[in-house]
Amino acid sequence: PLVYLNGAMMPLSEARISVLDRGFIFGDGIYEVTPVYRRRLFRPEQHLARFMRGMRAIDLQNPHDEAGWLGLMQQVVDAAPTEDQLLYMQITRGVARRTHAFPAQTPAPTVFLMSNPLLPPPPSVHEHGVACVTMEDKRWLRCEIKSISLLGNVLAAQNAAEQDANETIQFRDGYLTEGSASNVWIVKDGALISPPRDNLILEGIRYSLMEALCAEQNIPFAARRIARNEVFHADEVLLTSASREVMPVVTIDGERVGNGKPGPIYRKLYAAYQRAKVA
């Protein structure tokens, strides 16, 4: 497959960066993952807005305007072999002598885009739901930034993998934050509830979308702190992300969620999401 690196399209096997890249040395950069359906980027403006917000948050000079980025994104999508894709893009503070603070002379950022086939979750996920485990959230306090420094998320994902679970649901000081790479939602008495948009979670692009789908489906929605026991006593628990779409959780740490089957609010929101994808 062809990827984009610093101004040129090239085969993935030929893409090279310096070992002094601050992304490699410090994890000094941000990234974005955008789903693509039938070669059309899904909600690209929202993904790009979050990407640009991330650059401002870490004082990284943005080398392109919105139209420039959208052009690059579509170029990589058009060069990929499959219709449905997950587009990955990353920008780092570039190459400089190793010292923690920003280089005195701002280097050119390293810009990398690649697209991989998007495989939607298999039907069994929707019929039977998935198992999750839990862990204390040990990440830093700027989780709203989609940083490439993902060690906390990597360890949380590995924790799930080792227990044959789909995802690790994280809690900080007794309150729900999010998954290793997904937002987590609970359903209680017919209402969808999520942790607030703040520095303790990454606001998924599906966050606002779920809010809108709730309004469309007449499902009450609330954003507020959610205590650990509320998650274990929820009627339903859902995960969302670019790749998971909307996913039903049926067990947490081996305990059944609700009646242990994907629930009615999940079914409504999943169907509404599928419609939004092709709208």
List of residues contacting ligand PLP (CB under 6 A) = 33, 153, 178, 181-183, 202, 204-206, 240-242
Residue that the structure tokens 């990284």 belong to: 60
Torsion of CA 70, 183, 138, 234, to 10 degrees: 180
Give the shortest CB-52-to-ligand PLP separation in angstroms: 14
Give the shortest CB-97-to-ligand PLP separation in angstroms: 31
The H or E element containing residue 131 is: strand 130-136
Distance from C-alpha of 35 to C-alpha of 43, rounded to nearest angstrom: 8
Distance from C-alpha of 83 to C-alpha of 89, rounded to nearest angstrom: 18
In this complex, which beta carbon is closest to ligand PLP, that of residue 21 or of residue 178?
A: 178
Give the shortest CB-219-to-ligand PLP separation in angstroms: 18
Give the shortest CB-123-to-ligand PLP separation in angstroms: 21
Give the shortest CB-256-to-ligand PLP separation in angstroms: 25
In this complex, which beta carbon is closest to ligand PLP, that of residue 22 or of residue 206?
A: 206
Asked whether 211 and 222 are in contact (CB, 8 A), the reply is no
Distance from C-alpha of 147 to C-alpha of 31, rounded to nearest angstrom: 6
Q: How many CA atoms lie within 13 A of 177 on its CB side?
A: 27
- Secondary structure of residue 102 in the 3-state scheme: coil
Q: How many CA atoms lie within 13 A of 38 on its CB side?
A: 3
Distance from C-alpha of 181 to C-alpha of 177, rounded to nearest angstrom: 11
Give the shortest CB-167-to-ligand PLP separation in angstroms: 10
Which residue's Cβ has the minimum distance to ligand PLP?
Answer: 204
Residue that the structure tokens 């870490």 belong to: 58
Name the token pair of 137: 């959230």
Is residue 146 part of the annotated active site? The answer reads yes
Of the listed 138, 146, 188, 277, which one is catalytic? 146
In this complex, which beta carbon is closest to ligand PLP, that of residue 103 or of residue 144?
A: 144
What is the b/e burial string over 139-175, where b = at least 16 CB atoms within 10 angstroms of the residue's CB? beeebbbbbbbbebbeebbebbeeeebbbbbbbbeeb
User: Which phi and psi (to 5°) does residue 107 adopt?
Assistant: -75, 165
Distance from C-alpha of 164 to C-alpha of 202, rounded to nearest angstrom: 24
Catalytic residues: 146
